[in-house]
Amino acid sequence: MRPKSFMFVAGEASGGLLAAELVQALRLEFTEAPPVLTTDLQPLHTSLEPRFFGAGGPRMAAAGVELAFDMTAHSVIGVSDVLRNYLTFRRLFDQLCQMAIDREPDVIVCVDFSGFNRRFAHAIKEYVRGHTGWFHDWDPKIVQYVSPQVWASREGRARQMARDYDLLLSIFPFEKDWYARRVPQLRVEFVGHPIVDRYNSAEAPSAVPSSSVHSPSSPLVLLLPGSRPGELARHLPVMLAALERMGAATPNLRARMVLPD
């Protein structure tokens, strides 16, 4: 009897945080699960710690995931950035595929990062379909955590997902019905939006610094520039220029900014 193994692939800081939270939840589930009675001549009650490995960011490493490399260091935005970094992504892609084949995890969890992860899931499924038989029994469950916005554009990708994913974990309640009408063979489960768990109503009063409390006479602006380096480089100058103009018109204006770390 061997411990369950989970491979995680997250390519952005936000995805790395999602993956870290999921790892912590899974570890808790395994810890609280009843022990399994073995069928040995002298049976033992055993509960094995699951193993987590893959590629992601510092949050995942802190959660106990064995990282082959920091995938979030290579996050990009836009087609031009992808093309400029094609060889790097190709190398990382091949390395992850080989890692999956060598270690044969029970479950592969693809966290957000839909373009890369969709191709990765397809490559693993194609490998498994081409290696069946007595000596090839590896058939991992492949999970996509966070639905790509196929309901907004490129609806046809839902069929690709149904072909290669065993489970889609959704963070918006309407998505389950949306997929059921188009690809009913794809299992979709709504798991709630993680930000609700991070900042629930019980924690909200203590989570907000007193300096953030403001009155209508002291307006507060929240800046959300993104998490990827490319997003920050593009968005922040525009946001700060706009904030400067707003501040000139409203002298008592204050601003706060949310960053990935």
pLDDT digits (tens, 9 = 90+) for 62-118: 999 999 999 887 666 555 666 667 788 899 999 999 999 999 999 999 999 998 999
User: Distance between CA 57 and CA 97 in Å, rounded?
Assistant: 18
Report yes or no: 255 and 221 within 8 Å, Cβ to Cβ.
yes
Provide the 8-state DSSP code for 34: P
What SS3 state is found at 6? strand
pLDDT at 47: 55
Q: Greatest CA span in the chain, whole angstroms?
A: 81
pLDDT at 210: 54
| Residue ranges of E strands in the chain | 5-10, 36-37, 45-46, 51-56, 66-70, 107-111, 141-145, 167-170, 188-190, 220-223, 254-257
User: Distance between CA 235 and CA 245 in Å, rounded?
Assistant: 16
User: Within 13 Å of residue 144, how many CA atoms lie on the same side as its CB?
Assistant: 28
Give the chain's end-to-end CA distance (angstroms, integer): 39
Considering only CA atoms, which of 159, 152, 196, 195 is closest in space to residue 174?
152
Considering only CA atoms, which of 150, 164, 30, 187 is closest in space to residue 110?
164
Q: What is the mean pLDDT of each run of 10 residues along the chain (261 residues)?
A: 90 91 93 68 61 95 95 67 75 96 97 93 96 87 96 93 98 97 97 83 52 69 86 91 94 88 64
Residues 6+ apart with CB under 8 A from 75: 11, 12, 13, 227, 228, 229, 230
Indicate the pTM of the whole model: 0.79
